[in-house]
Amino acid sequence: MLDESYNPVLDVDEPAPFDLMRLPSVDAVLSWRHARTLLQIPLLLLSVVMILHGLLGPSLSPKNLATTLTWVHFRGLLVLVILIAGNFFCFACPFMLARNMMRRFFRPRLNWPRRLRNKWLAVGLFVAILFAYELFDLWSSPWWTAWLIVGYFVAVLVVDGLFKHASFCKFVCPLGQFNFVASLVSPLEVRVRDQQVCTNCATKDCIRGRREAGPDLVVIQRGCELALFQPLKAGNMDCTFCLDCVHACPHDNVGILSRLPASELMTDPMRSGIGLFSRRKDLTALVIVFTFGALLNAFGMVSPVYVVERWLARSMHASHEAPVLGVIFVFFLIVEPLVLLGLATWSTRALGGSRRPLVPLAIRYSYALAPLGFGMWLAHYGFHLFTGLLTFIPVTQSTLANLGWSFLGGPYWSLTGIPVRFVQPIELCLIGLGFAGSLLVTRRLAEDDCAEHPMRAFVPWATVCLLISLASVWLIYQPMEMRATLMMS
Ligand code: SF4
Ligand code: SF4
């Protein structure tokens, strides 16, 4: 039986939320069952072009579509769309189109292993991709970038070819996990419009799938493959915005509704398909890697990293970059979080009088770092997008010209993007936005956790947020290798 009073985000006194699906033009497009496929087809074709150009085109990254589109445009657009709307990149995911095509011929028979039904594998793969990015200089290698895309297609087809439901999205895909954590801060969420309608609903098609009338009960519209039961779904974690639930619900009771960004981090309801945030160590690890990985990834592109690498290589007598990078990764992703979050947790208990044990306390407050981490990813990826905004034009012109099609003219290599001096203030605003979001969430958690002395619980975590923000600001003002942006004159 559903708890009718339960709604993690909405308050009954609040005005009705904005519903994107109620905009006539949006509704007309997204209500069409094949809207997702229509968006996936061009992205699948573009992926093929990028793979071919990466493998067969120029080896200079600023002249290659694989590197330019992947590391300049795709990443920047992804975080901006998540910031202003939601996880629509998973909606348009071309890998899922390839998977769906394969599943027309091969039906997976296995269930994803019970021991792996968590995020630990995905966290490991997330770190592995960050590591490979630095080790193989992926931003400057069209060849490696193309193989990364190929590897992604192969992984999707193997995992979802063997295992049922959306095992790859939920338990494996590092990019998807990035999107899930980032979209905790998004202003939109796929959610039921009216809990009462769900209470009276007999079929629960949003999770079971809509079936054809008749003896065979053939599923004509699948329900949520990620095990998110709409009436008990809370927030964006694990939601790919695939809209299967929207199409499956016979009562038109699922929309894309507005909410206060990051509000889902302030409460800890039992979430369908997720459980309690406060019991999920794997999700906490994901948020920590997401946040400190943002600093690490930005650190990898500024000049001081070379000073640190040279010093480490000398100290370790290392002749290969891998062990040196390994030490940097251990510092950023293990030592630094352990020290900062450990001190904040201890202070919250000592000063604020929280009664939670240390580990659950650290887990609960660590979710508040997600907005700050997202702010840093936004600043970093936004930098590459804005400063290299127009680079796809000359790269496309040059690619077509090399194929003998010069109808686009050019290539106009002078087309780059917005000057750095205009982009840096935007980066500062994005970091500031993330900082403000993390402070708001921390404040709310402190009020819930230490009703008598919320400020004493708040200050240690606010200090951690401040330190991370200052480090982020320092990073964006460091001289930079102009990775994957147009460097030729
Ligand atoms: S099918 Fe629709 S009405 Fe029924 S439980 Fe799911 S979202 Fe609610
Ligand atoms: S079907 Fe599941 S993953 Fe897809 S939009 Fe609905 S809740 Fe999200």
485 pLDDT higher than 70: no
Same domain? 88 vs 185: yes
The string of pLDDT tens digits covering residues 226-279 is: 999 999 999 999 999 999 999 999 999 999 999 999 999 999 999 999 999 999
Same domain? 175 vs 251: yes
Of all residues in the chain, what percent carry a pLDDT higher than 70?
95
The mean pLDDT of the chain is 93
Query: Which atom of ligand 2 has the smallest separation from the CA of 233?
Result: 7
Q: Is the CB of 197 under 6 A from ligand 1?
A: yes
* 196-216 burial code (b ≥16 CB/10 A, e <16): eebeebeebbbbebbeeeeee
For 352-362, what is the mean pLDDT? 88
Same domain? 251 vs 283: no
Q: Is the CB of 241 under 6 A from ligand 2?
A: yes
Last-in-domain residue among 209, 242, 265: 265
Q: Is the CB of 243 under 6 A from ligand 2?
A: yes
12 pLDDT higher than 60: no
Q: Say which DSSP state 17 is in.
A: P
The reply to whether 38 falls in a domain is: yes
The string of pLDDT tens digits covering residues 213-226 is: 776 778 889 999 99
Same domain? 308 vs 450: yes
The reply to whether 104 falls in a domain is: yes
Last-in-domain residue among 206, 232, 265: 265
SS3 258: strand
The reply to whether 487 falls in a domain is: no
Same domain? 36 vs 113: yes
The string of pLDDT tens digits covering residues 304-354 is: 888 999 999 999 998 899 999 999 999 999 999 999 999 999 999 998 887
CA distance 375 to 379: 6
C-beta atoms surrounding 410 within 10 Å: 15
H/E element holding 210?
strand 210-211
Same domain? 186 vs 52: yes
Distance of CA 50 to the CA centre of its chain: 22
Ligand 1 geometric centre to CA of 421 (Å): 50
The reply to whether 70 falls in a domain is: yes
Distances (CA, A) of 352 to 71, 267, 417, 456, 465: 44, 19, 48, 5, 18
- List beta partners, residue 256: 190
The string of pLDDT tens digits covering residues 32-65 is: 989 999 999 999 999 999 999 999 999 999 999 9
Q: Is the CB of 375 under 6 A from ligand 1?
A: no
**pLDDT score recorded for residue 213:** 76
At 481, the pLDDT band (50, 70, 90 cuts) reads low
CA distance 413 to 390: 10
Same domain? 243 vs 316: no
The residue contributing the CA closest to ligand 1 atom 2 is: 249
Same domain? 204 vs 283: no
For 282-295, what is the mean pLDDT? 98
Same domain? 250 vs 299: no
The pTM for the full model equals 0.93
Q: Is the CB of 244 under 6 A from ligand 2?
A: yes
CA distance 91 to 75: 15
Place of tokens 């062990």: 323
125 pLDDT higher than 50: yes
Q: Is the CB of 230 under 6 A from ligand 1?
A: yes
**pLDDT score recorded for residue 303:** 86
Domain that holds residue 57: 20-265
User: Which ligand lies nearest to the CA atom of residue 208 in the structure?
Assistant: 1
Q: How many structural domains does the chain have?
A: 2
For residue 411, whether the previous peptide bond is cis, meaning omega lies within 30 degrees of 0, is: yes
Of all residues in the chain, what percent carry a pLDDT higher than 90?
86
Same domain? 215 vs 102: yes
CB 81 within 8 A of CB 93: no
CB 185 within 8 A of CB 83: yes
120 pLDDT higher than 70: yes
The reply to whether 1 falls in a domain is: no
Same domain? 113 vs 239: yes
Last-in-domain residue among 265, 298, 328: 265
The string of pLDDT tens digits covering residues 155-211 is: 999 999 999 999 999 999 999 999 999 999 999 999 999 999 999 999 999 999 998
C-beta atoms surrounding 317 within 10 Å: 7
User: Which ligand lies nearest to the CA atom of residue 244 in the structure?
Assistant: 2
The string of pLDDT tens digits covering residues 158-174 is: 999 999 999 999 999 99
For 384-399, what is the mean pLDDT? 96
